[in-house]
Chains A and B, each alone.
Chain A
Amino acid sequence: MTMTLQAFMAQLTIGLIGGCFYAMLSMGLAIIFGLLNIINFTHGAQFMMAAFLAWIGLTQLGPWLGFPSFAINFWVALVIVPLVVAAVGMVIERALLRRLYQLDHLYGLLLTFGVALVMEGGFRYAFGVSGQGYEPPELLQGPFDVGFMLLPKYRIFVVVASLLICFGTWYLFERTKLGAYLRAGTENPKLLQAFGINVPVMITLTYGFGVALAGIAGVLAAPIMQITPLMGGNLLNIVFAVVVIGGLGSILGSMITGLSLGLIEGLTKVFYPEASTVVVFVIMALVLLVRPAGLFGREV
């Protein structure tokens, strides 16, 4: 093996960053699934939409409005864009998804899938399929010396930020009163409503929260991924495999599974690059053979 330590660590970091995105996206899916009982096929499109909105805010919005110098910078986008994406998501939940809760899972799945197609097609029509670039904010440009190697500052920021977000979400759901309501809603929504909690509003806000996680992930991804209309759909396929491996039952489970699969993918890139695109799917197949319910599984 002629690989240097430097290159090895670089691949591992890329894997870790991939894992952070898997973790954030699969947590969002798990949260939405817990309360709404649907799998959100729009998740990837919402992730893509957030990356695009960040890009539009930085490079397009000013010229459109006639003030070429006006731009929404990364830090503002990191707050505003997830809120916008979540708001759009909540409108979809109120207008369309709400009507399907009494029906089979199938219909929620197909509906969110249709919404994803509309979003992806719309962005492809407007911006084409070629990738757009996004400059990382000035503060995070350039490399950072971690002792044995140089790492781009932005990548370190992504890892730290997503770990914080994952931990914060876990804390919110498992350690606070609000989280207790949400978990109670997962167990028995009717009883919770009888205790005076407005469950329909809670469901809408939960959907918004899950979507906002995808939105944050999308903004974080903008400077390190090619921004294309298909970026979310491709990522979501892998995230689904992650979810099958980890199970949708536990937030901590999605986080651990997401991170470790990202690392495994990074390692595969080092040792057997051809397989790196399918390694997650192969692991999924193996897990299904050995432990059909998934690693942290709670069968639905």
Chain B
Amino acid sequence: MSIKPVSLKPISLKPMPLKPMSITLKIFALLVAAALVVPYVPGIIYPIFVMKVMCYGLFACAFNLLLGFTGLVSFAHAAFLGSAGYVTGALMIRFGTHPLGTVTAFTLGVLASALVGLAIGGLAVRRRGIYFAMITLALSQIVYFLAVQFRWTGGEDGLQGIPRGNLFGLLDLSSDTAMYYVTLVLFSIGFLFVYRVVHSPFGQILQAVRENEPRATSLGYDTDRFRLAAFVLSATVAGYAGAMKALVFQLVSLNDVSLHTSTEVVLMTLLGGLGTMFGPLVGATLVVGLQNYLATIGDLVTVVIGLIFIVCVSFFRRGVVGEYLEWRRRRAQRALPAREPATAPSPSHAP
């Protein structure tokens, strides 16, 4: 089975998908190298800030996997972040001291978010477009109500003082430095996983489904199943970020399952750049940084976030990374106008 449908839309001038691949990985390697020294320069940048960015960055990458590469809007992503956080946190409070406690709690947390994702996604993929978004929004409310009702989630209080435990009894995670490096490793695994999914034949089919569903169907793909698979994958990675976050910050609250968090992840992805690998990371850095600065203005934060939404959607739809890539593409095009006239980008997917 060929994966021809991808070539329907010449997205960039680059003829082969191999080259941008290696560039993305090189940049990522540089980022990780820079992140390695962070605990030694606490005067310049707080490790706790970087850990927060890594948690939310991966969360946004998971969301981008769905919105940016599959074209599905979900307002339920907080439900995945939160349910994994709650399961991991509740298990850590009970079995945190066991040598395998952390690993088991983390794994079960991720599994829980995958199951919630399967339940919500299974219902949502039955409808398209706008209905899809509304269904995810409505179903995530059920998760929120459950988090308020259950006793093991701590109701209104959430879970506080979650122990970080240890890795196989060898590495104690209660020190911030140990936790920092473990978070960095977990984050790198998560990011590379998303990268792998996007650049796999599976990821290419997802983009084909987004660009031209009838054609993908005519090539024999069961598009609903691909949508569901993308949804569950995205939910799982979001849960992975949620379990990470529960361990790093040692608390899970109702805010983690609320619509507010689902909104923030949309904003991070949009601001950074839909459908780009680094966009969500840039967006998460900006939004987390913004929150630190805006913490003092209280209720106006919502207004600022809303205004950023409006500006992004009206004037800045490619996001930071998207605009940069577009600028580079235009420059490259100007540099060689005569040689490749045939590859001028077609107007975006007109049906």
Docked Cα-Cα span, A288 to B139, in Å, equals 12
Flag whether B307 is at the interface (Cβ < 8 A): yes
A122-B309 in contact (CB<8A): no
A116-B138 in contact (CB<8A): no
> Which of chain B's residues have a CB closer than 8 A to the CB of A111?
309-310, 313-314
Of B22-30, B120-128, B234-242, B334-342, the segment with at least 4 beta carbons within 8 Å of chain A is: B120-128
A110-B266 in contact (CB<8A): yes
Flag whether B270 is at the interface (Cβ < 8 A): yes
Most buried by B among A106, A233, A281: A106
CB distance from A140 to the nearest CB of B (A): 33
Picked from A33, A115, A122, the residue with its CB within 8 Å of the CB of B130 is A33
Of B152-160, B197-205, B298-306, the segment with at least 4 beta carbons within 8 Å of chain A is: B298-306
Q: A117-B309, A121-B299 are in contact. Are A244 and B131 (CB under 8 A)?
A: yes
CB distance from B131 to the nearest CB of A (A): 6
Prevailing SS type, chain A contact patch: helix
A107-B126 in contact (CB<8A): no
CB distance from B266 to the nearest CB of A (A): 7
Flag whether A148 is at the interface (Cβ < 8 A): no
Q: A121-B300, A122-B303 are in contact. Are A278 and B145 (CB under 8 A)?
A: yes
Q: Mark A223-256, 1 if CB is under 8 A from B, else 0.
A: 0000000000100011011011000100000000
Q: A292-B127, A299-B128 are in contact. Are A115 and B138 (CB under 8 A)?
A: no
Docked Cα-Cα span, A111 to B267, in Å, equals 11
Picked from A117, A282, A294, the residue with its CB within 8 Å of the CB of B142 is A282
Flag whether B282 is at the interface (Cβ < 8 A): no
Flag whether A277 is at the interface (Cβ < 8 A): yes
A241-B306 in contact (CB<8A): no
Picked from A110, A238, A241, the residue with its CB within 8 Å of the CB of B270 is A110
Which residues of B line the A interface, CB within 8 A? Answer: 67, 71, 73, 123, 126-131, 133-135, 137-139, 141-142, 145, 149, 259, 263, 266, 270, 298-310, 312-314, 317
A281-B138 in contact (CB<8A): yes
Which residues of A line the B interface, CB within 8 A? Answer: 33, 38-39, 96, 99-100, 103-107, 109-111, 113-122, 124-125, 233, 237-238, 240-241, 243-244, 248, 274, 277-278, 280-282, 284-285, 288-289, 292-294, 299-300
B135-A278 in contact (CB<8A): no
A240-B137 in contact (CB<8A): yes
> Which of chain A's residues have a CB closer than 8 A to the CB of B130?
33, 38-39, 105, 109, 248, 300
Other than A109-B130, A114-B313, A284-B139, give 15 A-B pairs with Cβ distance below 8 A. Answer: A33-B130, A106-B71, A106-B73, A107-B313, A109-B133, A110-B312, A113-B266, A117-B309, A118-B302, A121-B305, A237-B138, A281-B138, A282-B142, A289-B123, A300-B128
- For B138, give the chain A residue with the smallest CB separation: A241
Most buried by B among A103, A109, A110, A299: A110
A114-B129 in contact (CB<8A): no
CB distance from B149 to the nearest CB of A (A): 8
B141-A278 in contact (CB<8A): yes
A288-B299 in contact (CB<8A): no
Docked Cα-Cα span, A20 to B221, in Å, equals 43
Docked Cα-Cα span, A237 to B262, in Å, equals 14
B145-A244 in contact (CB<8A): no
> Which of chain A's residues have a CB closer than 8 A to the CB of B67?
106
B300-A116 in contact (CB<8A): no
B134-A241 in contact (CB<8A): yes
Picked from B131, B139, B266, the residue with its CB within 8 Å of the CB of A281 is B139
> Which of chain B's residues have a CB closer than 8 A to the CB of A248?
130
A244-B138 in contact (CB<8A): yes
Most buried by A among B71, B142, B306: B306
A110-B301 in contact (CB<8A): no
> Which of chain A's residues have a CB closer than 8 A to the CB of B270?
110
- For A286, give the chain B residue with the smallest CB separation: B123
A-B contact pairs, 11 of them (CB 8 A): A39-B130, A100-B314, A109-B133, A111-B313, A114-B313, A118-B306, A121-B305, A124-B299, A124-B302, A237-B259, A244-B135
Docked Cα-Cα span, A294 to B132, in Å, equals 12
Picked from A114, A274, A284, the residue with its CB within 8 Å of the CB of B138 is A284
Q: A96-B314, A110-B266, A285-B139 are in contact. Are A244 and B134 (CB under 8 A)?
A: yes
> Which of chain B's residues have a CB closer than 8 A to the CB of A282?
142
Picked from A99, A104, A299, the residue with its CB within 8 Å of the CB of B314 is A99
